[in-house]
Amino acid sequence: MYAVEYFEVECPEAAGAAYYKQITNDVLLDHNLLKVIHKLHIFIDPKVPVFVATGILKKITSLIRVRDFANINPQEGKMTLVISDETYLAPMLKIFWQRFGKEHVEQPDRFTVILYGIGEEPKEIEEIVVADPSEFLFKDLIYAFRCIAPEGFRLRKEKFGDGKFSFVASENTLDENTDELIAAKFALMGETP
Amino acid sequence: MTLVPVTYKGGIYQHDIVTDLIEDLGGYVVQKHLIAQEVVLQCFVPKDDIELIREISRPLFGEVTDSPLVGTEIAVVSMSLEIHHLPHPSCDIAEYTRRLGAKSNMVSLARGPGKRIAGLNDEERDVINEHDIAVFALGNFETCIEYKMPALRRGIEVPIILCGGPDKEALQKIVDPPVDGYVGNVGRFMHRTKESEELGKLDEIIAEITRVLEKKREEIAKDSLSVAPARLMDLIREKVPAIHEVTSPTPLTVQMTGLRVKLPYDTFAQDIRKVDIEDGITIGDLSDVVPSRMRDYILVKIRPFSETNVVI
């Protein structure tokens, strides 16, 4: 976990803490999430039992626009888009269909999209926002923490937003004072929830 | 004649010579795998004839190695089917035992995970009891293992090997009454076992399984079985042709004291009971042919000499 500034796993059992540090590292690495986490503190107490993960995210600014994955060649009465990365092809087509109508959009093969008879400039097309990765980020993070937390801990309380997140899980009904626990763990990182 | 479990590896060319030799010597081929240009035979052969097999297979570049797990069926008990426990480490353990000749089955529990909520239902218990040995793959926390182990082992009669995150001494301390084998430092992890240290851990599990199985073999030898399970396998193969239609990798699974026949019980149990072994003695005379809890398979449990007064 070289990219993360602060990463600690706190647990009354030392061996358990070491294993969970490894598990957390493996899962976040597999889900490609290490690059978005700035600080992370995990607390596990198998006696209660409770699992708490608190953390700070890095700033994610980039919106995905058409120009990020397609080259536009303007021609007489049409525009040919050469796609270099298919990941965002489906949402892009959906936006084009809504905006220009299906009769103006054609896709002869996987890597080519042709727009016929549209009034807009190539520059405007290039600037169309196709996706916002931060929307999926929280879903991915929740999924990753569900993988990291011991499996029996199915009662969860999670809060994501504003560059911070907290995730509490247990197999018993969660206590009312989980907020205090979360605040204490944020304080260890020198942050407030 | 003592039969010992071995694995033969060699080229596919003229491997029939080896198969015929094993059968002529009174041995049995339990499993046969053809992988590209290679053939792997897991078999029981007479102890005194291993050198002869080595000699005859030398021109074919064959290799004979000891394989103590051949002819055993092992249950790898995983706490659930979720990503938390599969494919690592449960599948890694199951695959490793398979490589060394055992037939391993994964038994995933419906309510295995957690601490207070963990439990075992009657079907799971019965399925585990149909195996020769059960390897429990548990988690990383001492507290949880200590708390849930009594619930998970309730009713399990086969030897248990406990794998968990804490070290071996800690596991021995927290499990009461003791189980048959312990392997520490193999808890839950989420990556493939490929480092030499981790492979060493898998070897440790195999060593522990082998040790416990050897002990069980000695126990069985004190009151020997009326007939060798591998012999019944050969007979059923010969006399119940329907077994050749079964597409499972091992239609007949040899166990230490019996055999799993992967045919429907209602249709074939009577046919199997009637199979003649020798001089009019049938399988039904020497063993209990019972329905298995695993699908609708048949389980043949061979009775010991003390019950039948016959050894064939």
Question: Can you tell me the distance from the alpha carbon of B71 to that of A186, in angstroms, rounded to the nearest whole number?
Answer: 56
Question: Can you tell me the distance from the alpha carbon of B70 to that of B98, in angstroms, rounded to the nearest whole number?
Answer: 9
Question: Residues with Cβ < 8 Å from B267, sequence gap 6 or more?
Answer: none
The b-or-e profile of A20-58 (16+ CB within 10 A means b, else e) is bbbbbbbbbeeeebbebbbbbbbbbbbeebbbbbbbbbe
At A131-161, the pLDDT tens digits run 888 778 888 999 999 999 999 999 999 998 8
Q: Which amino acid is at B72?
A: T
Contact list in A for residue B171 (CB cut-off 8 A) is: none
> Which residue of chain B has the CA closest to A154?
B114
For the beta carbon of residue B5, count every other beta carbon within 10 angstroms.
21
Across the interface, of B118, B190, B191, the residue whose CB is closest to A152 is: B118
Q: What is the pLDDT of residue A18?
A: 94
Across the interface, of A19, A26, A30, the residue whose CB is closest to B187 is: A19
Question: Can you tell me the distance from the alpha carbon of B170 to that of B184, in angstroms, rounded to the nearest whole number?
Answer: 8
CA B142 to chain centre: 28
Does B82 contact A30 at a Cβ distance shorter than 8 Å? no
Question: Can you tell me the distance from the alpha carbon of A72 to that of B133, in angstroms, rounded to the nearest whole number?
Answer: 65
Across the interface, of B165, B166, B190, the residue whose CB is closest to A26 is: B190
For the beta carbon of residue B130, count every other beta carbon within 10 angstroms.
21
Interface test with A, best of B141, B173, B186, B195 (most A CBs within 10 A): B141
Q: What is the interface pTM, i.e. ipTM, of the complex? A: 0.87
Interface test with A, best of B83, B84, B168 (most A CBs within 10 A): B84
Residues of A with CB under 8 A from a CB of B: 13, 15-16, 19-20, 22-23, 26-27, 30, 44, 46-47, 49, 147, 150-154, 171-172
Does B113 contact A150 at a Cβ distance shorter than 8 Å? yes
Across the interface, of B80, B117, B142, the residue whose CB is closest to A171 is: B117
Size of interface A-B (CB pairs under 8 A): 71
Contact list in B for residue A19 (CB cut-off 8 A) is: 140, 165, 187-189
Radius of gyration of chain B (CA): 20
CA distance A152 to chain B (A): 4
Q: What is the pLDDT of residue A85?
A: 87
Q: What is the pLDDT of residue A61?
A: 67
Q: What is the pLDDT of residue A2?
A: 55
Helix (H), strand (E) at residue B311: none
Does B140 contact A20 at a Cβ distance shorter than 8 Å? yes
> Which residue of chain B has the CA closest to A31?
B190
Interface test with A, best of B81, B116, B140, B142 (most A CBs within 10 A): B140
Q: What is the pLDDT of residue A52?
A: 95
Does A151 contact B82 at a Cβ distance shorter than 8 Å? yes
Question: Can you tell me the distance from the alpha carbon of B297 to that of B266, in angstroms, rounded to the nearest whole number?
Answer: 9
Cα distances (angstroms) measured from residue A101 to each of A65, A140, B35: 20, 33, 55
- DSSP line for chain A: --S-SEEEEE-SSHHHHHHHHHHHHHHHHHTT-GGGEEEEEEEEETTTTEEEEEEEEPP--PPEEHHHHEEEEEETTEEEEEES-GGGHHHHHHHHHHHH-GGGEEEEETTEEEEES--S-HHHHHT-EEE-HHHHHHHHHHHHHHHHS-TT--EEEEEEETTEEEEEEESSPPPTTHHHHHHHHHHHTT---
The low-confidence residues of chain A, meaning pLDDT below 50, are none
Q: What angle do CA B36, B38, B41 make, to 5 degrees?
A: 125
Place of tokens 């965002």: A88
Does B116 contact A171 at a Cβ distance shorter than 8 Å? yes
Cβ proximity of A66 and A126 under 8 Å: yes
> Which residue of chain B has the CA closest to A18?
B140
Does B189 contact A152 at a Cβ distance shorter than 8 Å? no
Q: Is B97 left (phi over 0), alpha (psi -120 to 50) or beta?
A: alpha
> Which residue of chain B has the CA closest to A148?
B84
Interface test with A, best of B79, B115, B146 (most A CBs within 10 A): B115
Assess B189–A contact: CB distance below 8 Å, yes or no.
yes
Does B190 contact A16 at a Cβ distance shorter than 8 Å? no
Q: What is the pLDDT of residue A137?
A: 86
Assess B142–A contact: CB distance below 8 Å, yes or no.
yes
Spatial CA neighbour of B145 closest among B130, B160, B132: B160
At B106-159, the pLDDT tens digits run 999 999 999 999 999 999 999 999 999 999 999 999 999 999 999 999 999 999
Q: What is the pLDDT of residue A160?
A: 87
The low-confidence residues of chain B, meaning pLDDT below 50, are none
For the beta carbon of residue A13, count every other beta carbon within 10 angstroms.
21
Q: What is the mean pLDDT of chain A?
A: 90
Does B141 contact A27 at a Cβ distance shorter than 8 Å? no
